[in-house]
Structure 1
Amino acid sequence: SPYQPEIGTPSSNGTAGAANPTNTNDASALRTNPAGLAHIEQSNSLLVGAQVLTASMRFDTDKATAGGDDGGNAGPLEFIPSVFYSRGFSDDLHFGLGLAPAYGLGADYGESFRGRYSTIKSDLAGAGFYSSLGYRLGNQWSAGLSIAAIYTTLELSRAISTTPLSLNPATDGKVTLDELDDWSPQATLGLMYKPDNSPWTLGFVYRTKTEVDVDGNVDFEGLPLPSAKGSASFDMPESYELGLTYQYSDKLRLFVETDMQRWSQFSDYTVDLGTGPTDYDRSWRDSYRFALGAEYKLAHNETLYLGTSYDMSPVRDKHRTFDAPTDEQIRLSGAYVRQHHSFEWSAGLSVIFSDDGNVDQVAEVTPGTGVTARTAGEFSSYYLMFPYASIRYFF
């Protein structure tokens, strides 16, 4: 799904996000569950991580009205940094600041793609700047609050035919919503329950929806139209997350996590190309996610993380579109951590295998003409890889 459930840290990336609701390891708790900040042992902790997103998204066309090609590898290549700092004001109160990815989605099919009248390129990205507090409510409960400023950028482009009766990419024009951006608030509430002398830890996280109203430029290429100001409005959904940790032995810890993301809130959106707003409905639905993970101590200063997760698709095949071709996903993850006195380093990999991502989309080739083009098929290769590394310094 468009959310990125794990961030560039060992417990998050290495467990496919299964450890997120009960994360008490490091300052990244300010993003995953701010209640976990209250359990960090060190007074000061700095964590810097980075992921590289590389993807294979190759569409095979079964039916197409327009000529052209299949779009090649439409998958993105992105560098995704994250930085977290926490400070303990007392044994019960911790504060944290952080920068981390909030969400992302994109594809670039090229201008000769058979489905170009639907989408040439889509690129949605959100980065969160987080300020968080975690507080112990006695010996067993802790609570946390995070307030984030989410910076969202959006780029969308599609072809417009100048010869509607002869659909040739060489004679097409192009319209691009470019450099659209916006700042939006988001709040995260977290609770954590750790019974005395018990191997169990329970975590709950609620994130509010993010109301996004981006604006920027509308650029036309190969068309007798001047540039204009454009905008788009949509909501990134609220979510509910529940996690459980079990300390099986001194060496082994197990994680279970599930969450619900209310993608029905993302379904309705509005786009304005400078001529007035137009409303759309993606027909998306709420979806669920399930994850399992493990932490194993190889030695006193070495730790191994493993995890897997399953994400339901928020959209049925008949409603899937080229700009957001998400489908159900299976994720496999692992990470290795080595500690050296007051710092540690880690490296890992998360691989997401998506289902076929069937698309059958009809688009008007030239606005107002009623002439349409249909493109139908599926992704023959659809996976994403997130190699990552991090360094943590505590004092």
Structure 2
Amino acid sequence: MPPMTLKTRLLTAATALAMAAPVPALAAGFALKEQSVSGQGTSYAGVTAGANGDASAMFFNPATMGLVKGTQVVQTASGLILSSKVESARATRAARLGGTPIAGNASPGDIGQDAVVPAGYIVYSVSDDLKLGLSANGPWGLVTDYGANWIGRYHGIRSDLRTYNFMPSVSYRLHPMLTLGGGIQIQYAKAKLSQATDFAIRAGRTPGSLDVLSDVKGDDWGYGFTVGALVEPMPGTRMGVSYRSSVKHELSGDISFTGLPAPLAGLLPNQGANAKLVTPEIVNIGLYHELTDKWAVMADAQWTNWSRFRELRVVPNNASLTSVTEEHWKDTWFLALGTSYKVTDDLTLRAGAAFDKAAVDVSHRTPRIPEQNRYWLSVGAGYKVTDSLQVDVAYSHIFVPSTTVDLRDNLTGADAGRGNLFVDYKSSIDIIGVQARMSF
């Protein structure tokens, strides 16, 4: 098979895999860091500085394509074993409605789901200085599901967000010590949200006697950009910095209602709906330094502008049915330290640790995204099978402290009529990654 035909087929497979899987949120907010298995081995420390020298680093900094020799294709697959269990839950109506318990399932169990998150990359060297690249990723995602009869259904039942990001990129070495890179984000997003409404409150009936279930579906294409720089002040030492812009989506679709008796069904016809989604800006800074010809140390810091996520607003054609969930998120930092050791010319071992700050505190945490601080420990290895094929593997365990949702309903604001909700969660995450790198 001619080399170019092989590369084309590999890229097609990488792109198809990057489109294939559901994506539970595993980093702060609804971000997905699982874009590089070689980077995962150090908990993503040094990835912005191209610590491992492969094409998967271009997701974090397009300037790192300058480290690639010739043409390279990388395919990753990260298996996510997610446990987020409801330990206890209690829901009551607002005090002015009697404060009575809300009936339903108080033990929905594990609200997350296991998944495989893939990503694909290709870098082509036009010359030693000029590189062209293309990546396919799912950078943002969220899946939580409590079941339609759980006691917190008025605050949310199922939340499902998936994104597919394609980024054509270019890098150019302006000077032996400086490489610049940039890319265009072409992003498709689709979302499904469901929750129940205690319609009896609006109809003047006994609270809880008339639940209406709403399902919203929408999708949209959005566009953004990424820029980065890689500085090499001396052999074996690199610093990388990058900026990933926000992407604005106007998700359009439809909303359907179920649960009203036939004589009242005409009050809530199925109709069009829209919702705004703006992904946050990200700034990355990475360092890589070789202590010896075998040992290297690295670090990364990532700032994410989550404070732009103030509310989740779904607007049907009938604007009086608008649903708003206040979020009040805060900007976050992801901090990582790692090391690698070259056992032989073919085998490299890696390890790293990281802290991932949560974007929301308990006063504004909702059951749709009951996130908490995360603490990473990772190990990994890369083995050169042949001159053209390298395989990388990594394992991470993410420790998540006990998480609490504590929402109060005083019949004012966006949560009016949804009831008081108190939920305790126990969560943990394991990630097993495999990556294949082919060089031509």
Aligned to 1:84: 121
Look up the SS of the partner of 1:317 in the other structure: coil
SS state at 1:30 partner:
helix
**Aligned position for 2:208:** 167
Match 1:148 to one of 185, 192, 205: 185
The alpha-carbon deviation at position 97 of structure 1 amounts to: 0.7
Please give the alpha-carbon distance, in whole angstroms, between the structure 2 residues aligned to 1:262 and 1:316: 16
Whether the aligned pair in 2 keeps the contact of 1:204 and 1:243 (CA below 8 Å) is yes
Q: Look up the match of 2:99.
A: none
1:183 correspondence with 2:224: no
Q: Deviations over 1:167-192 (max 9, x none)?
A: 37xx63311112x1111112111011
Per-residue CA distance 1:330-356 (angstroms, 9 max, x = gap): 112222221122101222222222222
Cα pair 2:252 2:274 within 8 Å, conserved: yes
2 CA distance for matches of 1:368 and 1:102?
Answer: 29
Aligned residues: 387
Structure showing greater Rg: 2
Q: Give the corresponding residue for 2:176.
A: 139
Q: RMSD over aligned Cα, in angstroms?
A: 2.2
Partner AA of 1:19 in structure 2: G
Task: Give CA deviations for 1:191-240 in whole Å, capped at 9, x if unaligned.
Answer: 1110134x321110111111121111212122323221111103111011
The corresponding residue for 1:213 is 250
Aligned equivalents of 1:172 and 1:296: distance in 2? 59
Q: Which amino acid in the other structure matches residue 208 of structure 2?
A: L
Return the TM-score normalized by structure 1: 0.92
Equivalent residue, structure 2, for 1:315: 360
**Cα distance change on mapping 1:352 and 1:61 into 2, 3 Å:** same
Query: In structure 2, what is the equivalent of residue 266 of structure 1?
Result: 309
Distance 2:415 2:367 in 1: 22
State the alpha-carbon separation in 1 of the partners of residues 35 and 397 from structure 2: 13
The equivalent of 1:250 in structure 2 is: 293
Q: Distance in 2 between matches of 1:364 and 1:222?
A: 25
Provide closer, same or farther for how the CA distance between residues 370 and 7 of structure 1 changes in structure 2, counting only shifts above 3 A: closer
Unaligned runs of 5+ in 1: none
Determine the C-alpha separation between the residues in 2 that align with 1:267 and 1:91: 45
Q: Give the share of equivalent positions with the same residue, in percent.
A: 26
CA shift at 1:275, angstroms?
Answer: 1.8
Query: Which residue identity lines up with residue 160 of structure 1 in the other structure?
Result: T
Alpha-carbon distance between aligned partners in 1 of 2:403 and 2:280, rounded to the nearest angstrom: 21
2 CA distance for matches of 1:354 and 1:144?
A: 35
Question: Does 2:269 align with 1:230?
Answer: no
Aligned to 1:294: 339
1:325 aligns with 2:370: yes
Q: Pick the aligned partner of 1:359 from 405, 410, 427.
A: 405
**Counterpart in the other structure of 2:329:** 284
Q: Is the 8 A contact 2:195 2:214 kept in 1?
A: yes
Q: Which runs of 5+ in 2 are unaligned?
A: 1-27, 93-101
- Relative distance call for 1:136 and 1:354 in structure 2 (3 A) is same
Change (3 A) 1:292 1:370: closer
Q: State the AA in 2 paired with 1:54.
A: I
Query: Deviation at 1:268?
Result: 3.7
Counterpart pick for 2:145 among 108, 117, 132: 108
* CA offsets 1:35-58 (integer angstroms, 9 cap, x no match): 1111212x1101111112231111
| 1:15-164 alignment runs, 5 A limit | 15-23=42-50, 25-41=53-69, 43-65=70-92, 66-68=102-104, 69-161=106-198, 163-164=200-201
For 2:185 and 2:409, the matched residues in 1 are separated by 37
Give the CA deviation at 1:98.
1.1
TM-score (norm: length of structure 2): 0.83
Which residue identity lines up with residue 233 of structure 1 in the other structure? Answer: K
Match of 2:15 in 1: none
In the alignment, is the contact (CA less than 8 A) between 2:380 and 2:392 conserved in 1? yes
Q: What displacement does 1:141 show? A: 0.7
Of Structure 1 and Structure 2, the greater helix share is in 2
Where 1:315 maps in the other structure, the secondary structure is: coil
Report if the CA contact (8 A) 1:19-1:256 is conserved.
Answer: yes
Q: Which moved more, 1:367-376 or 1:45-54?
A: 367-376
**How far off is 1:102 after superposition?**
1.1
Paired AA for residue 74 in structure 2: L
Structure with more strand by fraction: 1
TM-superposed CA distance for 1:86, in Å, is 0.5
CA contact (8 A) 2:34 2:78 kept: no
Decide whether aligned partners of structure 1 residues 62 and 78 sit closer, same or farther in structure 2, where only a CA change above 3 A counts.
closer
Q: Which moved more, 1:183-192 or 1:58-67?
A: 58-67
8 Å Cα contact 2:330/2:360 also seen in 1 = yes
The one-letter code of the counterpart of 2:270 is: S
Worse-superposed segment, 135-144 or 302-311: 302-311
